[in-house]
Chain A
């Protein structure tokens, strides 16, 4: 984590009166309503995004509980019916000697979702509470969560494939249990939570922490505007804008 280079003042676009398109990353002046490049709406900071993050996060967490309690796979054989939860199935596999498969299942279906919950929760908290911390790492964490979000559905795919393959009438029959639906919902909600998270807000704190010195901040801001707009800004005239939260 590199210390902020105080020579180059970290300035957020928002402080510079600019807003970046979340989709195509073109920076526009703050007042612009829509991106000229991709047509997305330009919102500098959404006050409700954090609420949305927490909502999706809570839903995902709520859906994750039955995903673990209810059986993921219902196996019907000649001798009877067997219900396997995620953890239970992994344990069974481990006990039967399939350690690698058990590890994979545990990692993919337990560790990663829980990690995602933790990561998103941490990020949201950090942003909301204004904790200090390595912003770059947080950004990387966020990118990681965003990346592996969709891959959590592998578990559901495995269940679907198993269920469709093993349909041997009376001899063996595998059907997805209620946990599969819950797990899928959990993953979807987590993905939505991650998407709702505005990663720009990670840098807000950095910027706020960094630019404590007003003069430094003003210079930084003027320098930044100058660079962008090319208009010389009279030094010493701080331009303040009501900062939107």
Chain B
């Protein structure tokens, strides 16, 4: 019965709920912003986290400069990681550095990786890591190129490793007894190229050997075989030996920072593994020799002891032991011993232990098995030889260094000694006195001898000689005297050179020749000679006849009568007179006056020449006709005078011819008459020559010449005055005087042509006249000649000549008296003495010169060695090139700085 709604029922209240708006209407779209930011942040974080590489831990001894979050890990200078944390290991033993690696290098960091801190370092190899001064230190890592298992913990190295894993090459170990050449960073050279380097040295466990790791880079590490030898190339070696001196060093850089060199001595060796050990030899020769030498350790040796009584120094261990010049071993030990029981006194003796190589002595089997037999053989051999005189002896090994060696020789008269083969520890070999040449002593002796030379005395003498020579030369007297001598010589030369004087000897010679010819003819034509000849012939004929025919007493008597007649002739008187005549003539000619005559003549003629010369010079200044005319006249007069003289002389040859013809005619005359006439002639002539007049004839000539000389002197004086005053009149007067003088000369010789003419006439007439007339003519001639010559002047001539000669003598005496000549003699004598001592010294010189030459030769060899080493030049050039490059770099930097000073701050 639901009907219409009950009005009493309440209307249910509908639940009204507000419409729920969608989320879209409630939540703003802005919520995307924080959501997006969140997502981005998360994505970035996730990406950074996922891109992060792994961490490794490296321990270092100290962590200087390592800062967390800053220090980088670099590989080949590229940052590949960063230090995140710096802490300590357990116990604070080392610094633990946690490094985060980049993802891309993480696979390569395996157990081959090595890490070290790069700090600024100054080493022999140079300055390293300088950029870390500003940017801070960094850790450098090095690993090989093969990825391997990841290792997380590493022990950092203290310094750069020798063999970096990222470098290809071979690591080797070098051994040396004294560390020679094993300096850290020293280069390893192969043929001058740097192919590796040496690491820090360390002492081996045995405490004796020095080891060092070294690294040889590829591809040169292929060369390393077991037949490769290393030697120390640092420093230089200087050897003086029998082959000369040699200086050797590898290169300039190795000289400075040391270095080792190696060489493949023999090819075909086996390659060496990593870490193989090589010994270092002191030089190349030892290194090469070690390859060829038999293995040292395995050669059987025989040790002997030798006791040397000598007191010489120079034997050292390692000195060779030689037998017959062959090196058979070496001295391995030296010591001294004092054994009064054994030797009898308490002196210290030298005990040397000799190590003899058995393979050098015998050709037997020297392997280990047979060594004992060989040893016994050698001992037997030595015992036998010792009995025959084999001894050990010290001798010079090298003359220059004074080193000694032991030689085993056989000596004569050895004295008795036995080979004690049972001695301990080694058999004792008897010794002989040392034969050591003391080269130093000999050199000292030579030096002492040179010192003892009186060099100072020689030098003093030489200096004194030079001083006196200089005094002599500087002496004014000498200079003046030499000047005078020179002047005299010049004057004489001028005189001699003048034409007149040149002609004079000819003329005189002609005259003399003619006279001589005439006298010779006279002699020939003298009846005396003819008579004597005839007598001789007659005698010969008579002898012949006497021998040929007998009974020719009449002939003989006649001949005898003829001879008597001839003897009866006043031949002797004739000869005597002729001889006297000749003697007189000779005496006249030979008298000083006559001899001085040419001198005076030449003087006079010279004075005349000078006068004429001065006159001519004056005339060159004078231009007046009068003077010229006067000069011409004077010259004409002089010429006439000269011509007269020559004309006078000219007639003589003609005269002589005439006389010749006369003599020829005279041949036909009767002998007696001829003889008588000749006698008379000769007596006359002798009378002529013997008279004072004849004697005085030269005097007349001389007076004439003297007057001429005086005139010339006056003329010269006048000319001098004229020169100083310049007066032409005086010149004229002088010329007049000269002309007068010339006239006098002409007058004085005027008579001669007349005389000659007369002689000529006489000769002409003599051809037709009789002899008597001839004799008369001759007598007249002689009288005339006598007149000519009978003046005082001629007599005085010799005196003048004698004066002149005396002057010369005085000059010479002056010269002599001045002691100059004596001084010269003395100096010459001392010079001779000095020369003697120098010669004595010079005797020793050759030896010295030889030694000097040998030293020079060796020095040449050294220099040649230096020049041959191309490496020296190359190294020097390379160094110079480096320096120049560095200079270039500095220069370019300076230029850039100049252009842009702020480049320092702002960079390029």
Contacts and interface: CB of A to CB of B under 8 A. Distances in A.
A and B from one complex: yes
Interface of A: 47-49, 51-52, 54-56, 58-59, 62-63, 66, 78-81, 168-171, 185, 189, 192, 196, 245
B670 interface: no
14 contacts: A47-B21, A48-B25, A48-B26, A48-B28, A51-B27, A51-B30, A54-B31, A55-B33, A59-B30, A63-B37, A78-B134, A80-B70, A80-B136, A169-B905
Contact of A51 (B28, B37, B70): B28
A245 B33 contact: no
A145 B506 CA distance: 159
A48 B21 CA distance: 11
A189 B894 CA distance: 55
Which of B33, B136, B905 has the most C-beta atoms of chain A within 10 angstroms of its own C-beta?
A: B33
Contacts of A78: 134
| Cβ-closest 10 pairs across A and B | A59-B34, A55-B30, A51-B28, A52-B28, A55-B31, A58-B34, A169-B906, A48-B28, A59-B33, A52-B30
Interface residues of B, number: 21
Nearest to A245: B18
Nearest to A196: B30
B907 interface: yes
A56 B906 CA distance: 45
A45 B345 CA distance: 137
Which of B27, B37, B136 has the most C-beta atoms of chain A within 10 angstroms of its own C-beta?
A: B37
Contacts of A79: 134, 136
A172 B855 CA distance: 71
Given A59-B34, A80-B136, A189-B33, A169 B25 contact: no
Nearest to A48: B28
Interface in B725-760: none
A171 B906 CA distance: 8
Given A51-B27, A78-B134, A80-B70, 17 more contacts: A47-B25, A47-B26, A48-B25, A51-B31, A52-B30, A55-B31, A55-B32, A56-B30, A56-B34, A58-B31, A59-B34, A62-B38, A62-B41, A168-B905, A169-B906, A192-B30, A245-B18
A78 B906 CA distance: 12
A244 to B, nearest CB: 9
Contacts of A51: 26-28, 30-31
A66 B38 CA distance: 11
Nearest to B136: A80
B84 to A, nearest CB: 15
Which of B18, B25, B31, B136 has the most C-beta atoms of chain A within 10 angstroms of its own C-beta?
A: B31
Nearest to B69: A83
Interface in B893-908: 905-907
Interface in B14-32: 18, 21, 25-28, 30-32
A66 B32 CA distance: 19
B135 interface: yes
A55 B134 contact: no
B856 to A, nearest CB: 64
Contacts of B34: 55-56, 58-59, 62
Contacts of B136: 79-80
Nearest to B24: A48
A80 B905 CA distance: 15
A41 B28 CA distance: 18
A245 B21 CA distance: 12
Contact of A171 (B28, B33, B37, B905): B905
Contacts of B33: 55-56, 59, 189
Interface string B35-74: 0011001000000000000000000000000000010000
A192 B906 CA distance: 43
A66 B42 CA distance: 12
Nearest to A185: B37
Nearest to A171: B905
Contacts of B38: 62
Contacts of A58: 31, 34
A117 to B, nearest CB: 13
Nearest to A79: B134
Contacts of A245: 18
Contacts of B21: 47
A79 B70 CA distance: 11
A181 to B, nearest CB: 12
Contacts of B37: 59, 62-63, 185
B39 to A, nearest CB: 11
Nearest to B37: A62
A147 to B, nearest CB: 22
A220 to B, nearest CB: 25
A170 B907 contact: yes
A168 B18 CA distance: 67
Given A78-B134, A80-B136, A55 B905 contact: no
A78 B135 CA distance: 7
A71 to B, nearest CB: 12
Nearest to B21: A47
A147 B41 CA distance: 30
Given A62-B41, A80-B136, A170 B28 contact: no
Nearest to A59: B34
B12 to A, nearest CB: 20
Contacts of B25: 47-48
Interface in B114-140: 134-136
Contacts of A66: 41
B33 to A, nearest CB: 5
A169 B907 contact: yes
A170 B905 contact: yes
Contacts of B28: 48-49, 51-52, 55
Contacts of B18: 245
Interface string B744-788: 000000000000000000000000000000000000000000000
Contacts of B907: 169-170
Nearest to A66: B41
Nearest to A189: B33
A170 to B, nearest CB: 6
A189 B41 CA distance: 16
A62 B45 CA distance: 14
Nearest to B903: A169
Contacts of B905: 168-171
Interface string B862-889: 0000000000000000000000000000
A32 to B, nearest CB: 22
B730 to A, nearest CB: 113
A85 B114 CA distance: 36
A133 to B, nearest CB: 25
Nearest to A63: B37
Contacts of B70: 80-81
Contacts of A55: 28, 30-34
Nearest to B905: A171
Nearest to B36: A59
A48 B30 CA distance: 10
B135 A80 contact: yes
A189 to B, nearest CB: 7
A52 B31 CA distance: 7
A58 B31 CA distance: 9
Nearest to B44: A66
A170 B33 CA distance: 39
Interface string B571-591: 000000000000000000000
A54 B37 CA distance: 15
Nearest to A243: B18
A171 B41 CA distance: 34
A49 B30 CA distance: 10
Contacts of B32: 55
A44 B903 CA distance: 67
A55 B134 CA distance: 49
A48 B27 contact: yes
Interface string B466-504: 000000000000000000000000000000000000000
A51 B24 CA distance: 11
A59 B32 CA distance: 9
B594 to A, nearest CB: 124
Contacts of A48: 25-28
